Structure 1
Amino acid sequence: MKPLLLIDVDGPLNPYAARAQRRPAGYSTHRMRPTGWSEKERAKPLRVWLNHGHGPELIALARAYELVWATTWKDEANDWIGPLLGLPRLPFVDWPVMHGRAPAGTFWKTQYILEYAGERPFAWIDDDITAMDREWVDRHHPARTLLMRVDEQIGLVREDFDALANWAA
């Protein structure tokens, strides 16, 4: 059974924290109204920067991993993000609670990532992973893991894809 590759959108695929009005090189701008965003009265569409080269990179990793959305976009990543990157519909972590309390100072997603993974090995890419998350996962997960923090100002880079491919090998 392949390890999971748990993929966050905002940060790794959408470097949302890059300088405002300064789209990172290689990215294109998309305007979106996912659920929750469109409910805000007269809100402008959400600006999302995507690098279309990330799609083929993720498809290549799918030979070694089962790709899974691990994002607050949940299944909407299949409607808004995946098609722009050329990805098929992917399973997703359906967070029982978003932005709730987390154990031992960990990121709120961490406990649910472990529940989703069960006993499977996994790699997780997110911009909110900390040393506390790594320690928690090391203590509570029986299989091998790779928790990769991605800079939310830069997004995924070549070295990240190489590290993911090497870890799965």
Structure 2
Amino acid sequence: MGSPVVLLDVDGVLNPFERPHQGYGRHACSPNGITFQLWLDPGHGPSLLELAESTGAELAWASYWCDNANEWIAPRVGLPRLPFVPIPRFPGAAEGRTLGAWKARHVAAWTRGRPFVWFEDEPDATACLAGEPDVADHLLVEVDPLTGLTGEHISAAAAWLRALDL
């Protein structure tokens, strides 16, 4: 078992789907030539870095943005370049998969038995993680995609990480 990981989703977590409260700014981001208008809070980076430092955890992306998050999201929220879970394009529900199950499969494989906290807005991700083999201790912090990541989410993650017996 290695150090714990804090996994970050982008859309619905760092980029809420409704116009957020104060502190957020609007940013045009164009990964792969497609422009998206995102709401991002530069206060998230320092809070997440403090979470990682105070608990001995590593930050990583767990988002369809993959490495694009390092170019388009990280500098706008105050994060350095982070490792990322390589999540391929969702094949679609026609194959009997859900978005949460698809992401959970790749998160479980990437964490390789390391404990992790996952800030995620997909409601079925928790149940899907339970079905993956050899998943280490984890906390899925369910974020409301309309409001995004809050201090309460970060506090819950910090408490769980500090309670780990490493």
Q: Point out the more displaced range, 137-146 or 63-72.
A: 137-146
Match of 1:40 in 2: none
Q: Name which of 57, 60, 64 aligns with 1:68.
A: 60
Q: Distance in 2 between matches of 1:35 and 1:104?
A: 25
Report Cα offsets for 1:67-120 as digits up to 9, x if no partner.
Answer: 11111111111111111122111001112x321268775532011110001111
Q: Does 1:167 align with 2:163?
A: no
Q: Distance in 1 between matches of 2:123 and 2:84?
A: 18
Structure 2 length as normaliser, TM-score? 0.84
State the identity as a percent.
39
Contact 2:4 2:116 (C-alpha < 8 Å) held by counterparts: yes
User: Which has the larger share of helix?
Assistant: 2
Report Cα offsets for 1:28-64 as digits up to 9, x if no partner.
Answer: 1111111151xxxxxxx31110111111111101212
Report Cα offsets for 1:119-140 as digits up to 9, x if no partner.
Answer: 111111111132xx32342343
Q: Distance in 2 between matches of 1:87 and 1:3?
A: 18
Structure 1 length as normaliser, TM-score? 0.83
Q: Does 1:119 align with 2:109?
A: no
Match of 1:128 in 2: 122
Alignment-mate amino acid for residue 26 of structure 1: G
Question: Structure 1 residue 141: deviation in Å?
Answer: 3.4
Aligned length: 155
Any stretches of 5+ residues in structure 1 without a counterpart?
38-44
